[in-house]
Structure 1
Amino acid sequence: MAAPRTAREAWVEEGLRALASGGPGAVRVEVLAQALGVTKGGFYGYFRNRDALLAEMLDAWEREATDAIIERVEEAGGDPRERLGRLFALTAPARGPSGPPDVELAVRDWARRDDAVAGRLRRVDERRMEFLRSLYRPICADEDEVEVRSLTAFSLRIATPLLDVGHGGRSRAEVMELAARWLLR
């Protein structure tokens, strides 16, 4: 009887874990196979080469971190403030700077050294910003306010895990909640 094949998604998920903890150089077929408890031969049943896996990892990251979030916000409906609140809740940084590395930050770091990844990141960021703008337009007085609120909300999500600061006796979660309320005024 043949050994069961490791699902393609398992390779992608393990690749994303390796990317988050060590960057693209840590995404090595041998290491992933060992982590999955399989031989590296199974990898080639799904992927032509390591570059194909890296591309699929970026696809998965984009789907989960952008497409799926937008779909969840839109499917539940509501007015723009309700949808913004849902977006903030879904994208709140789950870990502080001392927590495990985040795939988002790893992709951003990777993009600094790889033009193709930088292009992908730029497209994803533009899509995210345009989604924020679409939510802010109905509740803001002018396009300047739309842009400032959109950029502030987006920057909070991306930069917060990089900061290691105290919040005057408040937890990071409490401050993020205050920021969300301020952004929803």
Structure 2
Amino acid sequence: MSEAEKATDNGWRGSKELWLDAAYQVLLESGVDNVRILTLAKRLKLSRTSFYWFFKDRDALLEDLLRLWQEKNTASLLRQAQAYAHTLAEATLNLFDCWLDPAIFDSQFEHAVRSWGIQSQKVSQAVNEADQLRLNAIKAMFIRFGCAPLEADVRSRALYLTQIGYISMNTTEDLATRMRRVPAYAGIFSGVYPHATELARFHRRHDFDG
């Protein structure tokens, strides 16, 4: 089949990414129980049989959806924890980027997957493994800046579990409120308050003129 024929074919049946994105949207809107082939087909205005060009079955779709969450949220958090920083406060602000930029860390996706984990042992295990990877990365960040292992462990847990609590409770704050709290959060979690220049860079990253 030529590339042109493939493009035409995908235009008729959709694409794997299109089906996966629809599954993501439904998961966020109404939970995993509603991520059904017929539901997605109606949403996309495609035939149900089109789905099987891209996925073996619903389980295969759900596996890809879980993989997307791992690549989106866990991988991004690990990158932020390992990102260059001159000070521990700046490193902490790098992590805070996750909580403010959905392009880096999708909190709605996180909440939906954690809710899904209540129903699925496999997903619950994946969530537990992700939590440990993330905690290890944050702990390593603190150790990199001179914290003793036990202190690094406690600080990483305080930082991470606080944010997961925000997500699990669907806590919302406007940007100004969040930004006012950032210096104190950074100081409490890391033991070092960010300098004005570090905060200014952080504000610019999030288009905040405080």
Q: Distance in 2 between matches of 1:102 and 1:163?
A: 9
Quick check: 2:81–2:138 contact (8 Å CA) kept in 1? no
Amino acid of the structure 2 residue aligned with 1:14: A
Cα RMSD, aligned residues only: 2.7
Matches within 5 A, 1:85-104: 85-92=93-100, 102-104=108-110
Matches within 5 A, 1:8-157: 8-71=16-79, 74=82, 76-79=83-86, 81=88, 82-92=90-100, 102-157=108-163
Q: What is the Cα deviation at residue 177 of structure 1?
A: 4.7
For the pair shown, the structure with the greater C-alpha radius of gyration is 2
Quick check: 1:17–1:103 contact (8 Å CA) kept in 2? no
Q: Which has the higher contact order (CA 8 A, sep 6+)?
A: 1
Greater shift, 16-25 or 79-88, is seen at 79-88
Q: Give the TM-score normalised by the residue count of structure 2.
A: 0.72
Quick check: 2:81–2:137 contact (8 Å CA) kept in 1? no
Q: What is the Cα deviation at residue 19 of structure 1?
A: 1.2
Q: CA distance change for structure 1 residues 80 and 58 in 2, over 3 Å: closer, same or farther?
A: farther
Q: Distance in 2 between matches of 1:17 and 1:165?
A: 20
Quick check: 2:77–2:95 contact (8 Å CA) kept in 1? yes
Number of corresponding residues:
176
Q: Give the TM-score normalised by the residue count of structure 1.
A: 0.81
Query: Which residue of the partner structure matches residue 98 of structure 1?
Result: none
Q: CA distance change for structure 1 residues 51 and 86 in 2, over 3 Å: closer, same or farther?
A: same
**Structure ranking higher in helix proportion:** 2
| Percentage of matched positions with identical amino acids | 23
